[in-house]
């Protein structure tokens, strides 16, 4: 969600911080700020509403070598300069990701004065209160965190302890880059890897004391902790490569990202081999229930895979909203179940909370995640699958979504093979998956005709997206994309459910996007739904591998592919449709309002 960067070292802090914030801007972008300690031991701060480019960082001293920076996604308080981070209270300046749930009680108890509406300023005041008595920045942070309820990733500095930063995390990620006579703290390795590929991952309940030469890590009981320095891959340079937006670029990157997720995992003879899942032969043989848990796009990826996994494996597959899973009882046997947690970032707060609940219940847990070294990847009990989809900058997920679906389908084929089930179907699945990148590439070539359709329908403010069978989850994901990037009210339903209530909204101003399956029976049933819409003056856009219907106002013909993956080709069409409608309406397709890439609060 929000982005944090901190620096101690010989370089100009403001340059490192500004560059890091630019790389993290996709995670939160309501406002931004940088604070540095100048040569006189004073805190110099610049803040601005909007993007990082609005920051007047040039006014900060060049020789300041310690500082912290932040990009904000508003939780407490509006989007204003006063509410932007860093926040200073007394001798403490800090940046914070997360939510302090008891901030009002703390403010009243300690009579903390505030000029902002944020919970973060209260935390700064609380640390300052303890700093006055302890004289130690680390001890003050430990004492304050003992009273805090909620989640946090924080970096703290003070002119009374110059050259030192104290960082702490609980439920919000922080990593430390180890360079030559320098340390860089960030909420995402993306801000660090241009400086060093040596990373220390802080775990929940850890506090790090950092200067240019040293890093010491403690738990919340003030006991020293041993941490390993890990080497991470250098991230590819993030640029738009000639495309008009990152969203457009990432839609067109799907052929290569899907190739990467399958690389080395599908053999020439149609076998699917996965080294990541850590499941014994007995666990695989005894498996009688799969839970797939995620938020938003990850949830819809699980919904699509559910149809295919149940068919391949013959066992029930439940797809759960992560935000609901931990708060309800579910009837399943932990010993014969497997919970798969999905997240592009691996830092989604609801998903991580659900993961801890599943582990508490004794359910084996596996992860499907795009970000190496993320909290999710490090916390699951039974391994998982890295997507290797590359950095996804646009808030609206595209290539990570399709990669998640493919990873789940490969996992289904992997399990079926190990269980001795449906071997012929596994080979067909493997062939369909191998051919999928080419079919998606063909779909991206439909961008211009889709753009022409988008120009005609962008003025309609109410949409249905309809599909049957495994195309219903594609309709859900498509409606989400339209809603996210164009701000049009789009809802998804199974095509057959439209007549059970939603049809009352159909009129001449309403758009229905109908996904037509290849299956003859479901195709014919879907045509009936199209006719019901047209009978009520509704406008219809159909998407199908078959030719256009006489009942369609607009039609997109997609390549014919295997039925288990055909939805991903239609999904690419819906991504392009959402992109071009949003462009027509003048939306910021990479940074939709009110959204953030990685949601690290519940």
* Measured distance CA(416)–CA(411) in Å, rounded: 8
Q: Is 481 a catalytic residue?
A: no
Count of residues in the chain: 602
| CA-based R_g, the chain, Å | 25
* Measured distance CA(499)–CA(476) in Å, rounded: 17
Q: Which residues contact 531 (CB under 8 A, 6 or more apart)?
A: 551
Report the DSSP pairing between strands 87-89 and 92-97. Answer: antiparallel
Catalytic pick from 2, 443, 572, 573?
Answer: 2
Q: What is the dihedral of CA 525, 530, 533, 534, to 10 degrees?
A: -130
* Measured distance CA(65)–CA(17) in Å, rounded: 10
Report which DSSP code applies to 454. H
Q: What angle do CA 340, 346, 352 make, to 5 degrees?
A: 65
Residue-wise DSSP of 82-142: TTSSPEEETTEEEEEES-BTTHHHHHHHTT---SSS-HHHHHHHHHHHHHHHH--HHHHHH
* Measured distance CA(61)–CA(57) in Å, rounded: 9
Do residues 582 and 591 touch, judged by C-beta distance below 8 A? no
Q: How many CB atoms lie within 10 A of CB 340?
A: 29
Report the DSSP pairing between strands 554-557 and 152-157. Answer: unpaired
* Measured distance CA(259)–CA(272) in Å, rounded: 14
Secondary structure class of 32 (helix, strand, coil):
strand
Percentage helix, strand, coil, to 5, in the chain? 40, 25, 40
Across the strands, what pairs with 89?
92
* Measured distance CA(206)–CA(48) in Å, rounded: 31
Secondary structure class of 89 (helix, strand, coil):
strand
Residue-wise DSSP of 242-259: TSSSHHHHHHHTHHHHHH
Q: How many CB atoms lie within 10 A of CB 392?
A: 26
Catalytic pick from 22, 481, 539, 597?
Answer: 597
* Measured distance CA(151)–CA(154) in Å, rounded: 10
Q: Is 597 a catalytic residue?
A: yes
User: Buried b vs exposed e over 450-476: b needs ≥16 C-beta within 10 Å?
Assistant: bbebbeebbebeebbbbbbbbbbbbbb
Task: Give start and end residues of each alpha helix (H) in 271-317.
Answer: 281-286, 297-313
The Cα-based distances of 510 to 128, 534, 554, 588 in angstroms read 57, 10, 14, 24
Residue-wise DSSP of 405-423: HHHHHHHHHHHHHHTT--H
Do residues 404 and 387 touch, judged by C-beta distance below 8 A? yes
Catalytic residues: 2, 597
């Amino acid at each position: 969600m929000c982005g944090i960067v901190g620096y101690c070292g010989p370089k100009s802090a403001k340059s490192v911080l500004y560059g890091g914030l630019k790389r993290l801007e996709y995670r939160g972008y309501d406002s931004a700020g940088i604070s540095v300690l100048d040569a006189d031991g004073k805190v110099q701060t610049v803040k601005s509403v909007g993007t990082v480019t609005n920051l007047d960082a040039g006014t900060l001293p060049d020789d300041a070598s310690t500082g912290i920076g932040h990009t904000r996604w508003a939780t407490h308080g509006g989007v204003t300069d006063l509410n932007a981070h860093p926040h200073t209270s007394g001798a403490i300046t800090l940046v914070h990701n997360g939510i302090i749930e008891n901030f009002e009680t703390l403010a009243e108890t300690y009579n903390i004065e505030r000029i902002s509406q944020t919970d973060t300023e209260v935390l700064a005041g609380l640390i300052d209160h303890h700093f006055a008595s302890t004289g130690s920045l680390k001890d003050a942070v430990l004492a304050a965190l003992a009273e805090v309820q909620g989640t946090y990733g924080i970096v703290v500095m003070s002119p009374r302890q110059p050259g030192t930063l104290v960082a702490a995390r609980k439920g919000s990620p922080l990593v430390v880059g180890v360079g030559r006579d320098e340390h860089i703290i960030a909420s995402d390795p993306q801000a660090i890897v241009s400086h060093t590929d040596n990373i220390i991952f802080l775990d929940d309940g850890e506090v790090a004391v950092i200067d240019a030469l040293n890093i010491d890590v403690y738990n919340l009981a003030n006991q020293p902790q041993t941490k390993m320095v890990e080497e991470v891959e250098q991230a590819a340079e993030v640029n738009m490569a000639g495309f008009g937006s990152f969203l457009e670029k990432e839609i067109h990157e799907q052929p290569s990202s899907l190739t990467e997720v399958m690389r080395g995992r599908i053999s020439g003879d149609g076998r699917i081999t996965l080294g990541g899942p850590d499941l014994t032969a007995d666990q695989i043989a005894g498996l009688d229930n799969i839970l797939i848990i995620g938020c938003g796009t990850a949830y819809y990826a699980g919904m699509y895979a559910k149809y295919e996994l149940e068919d391949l494996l013959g066992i029930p597959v439940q797809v759960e909203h992560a935000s609901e899973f931990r708060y309800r009882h579910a009837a399943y046997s932990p010993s014969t179940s497997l919970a798969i947690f999905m997240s592009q970032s691996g830092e989604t707060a609801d998903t991580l909370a659900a993961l801890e609940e599943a582990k508490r219940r004794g359910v084996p847990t596996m992860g499907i995640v795009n970000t190496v070294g993320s909290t999710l990847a490090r916390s699951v009990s039974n391994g998982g699958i890295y997507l290797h989809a590359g950095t996804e900058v646009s808030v609206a997920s595209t290539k990570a979504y399709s990669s998640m679906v493919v990873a789940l389908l490969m996992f289904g084929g992997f399990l079926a093979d190990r269980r001795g089930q449906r071997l012929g179907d596994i080979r067909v699945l493997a062939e369909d998956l191998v051919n999928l990148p080419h079919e998606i590439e063909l779909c991206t070539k439909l961008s211009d005709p889709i753009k022409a359709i988008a120009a005609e329908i962008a003025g309609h403010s109410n949409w249905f997206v309809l599909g049957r069978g495994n195309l219903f989850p594609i309709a859900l994901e498509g409606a989400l994309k339209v809603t996210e990037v164009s701000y049009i009210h789009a809802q998804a339903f199974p095509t057959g459910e439209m007549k059970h209530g939603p049809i009352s909204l159909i009129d001449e101003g309403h758009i229905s996007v109908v996904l037509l399956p290849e299956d003859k029976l479901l195709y014919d049933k879907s045509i009936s739904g199209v006719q019901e819409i047209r009978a009520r003056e509704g406008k219809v856009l159909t998407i199908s591998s078959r030719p256009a219907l006489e009942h369609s106002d607009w039609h997109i013909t997609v390549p014919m592919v295997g039925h288990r993956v055909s939805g991903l080709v239609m999904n690419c069409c819906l991504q392009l449709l959402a992109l071009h409608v949003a462009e027509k309406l003048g939306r910021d397709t990479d940074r939709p309002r009110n959204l953030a890439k990685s949601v690290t609060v519940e």
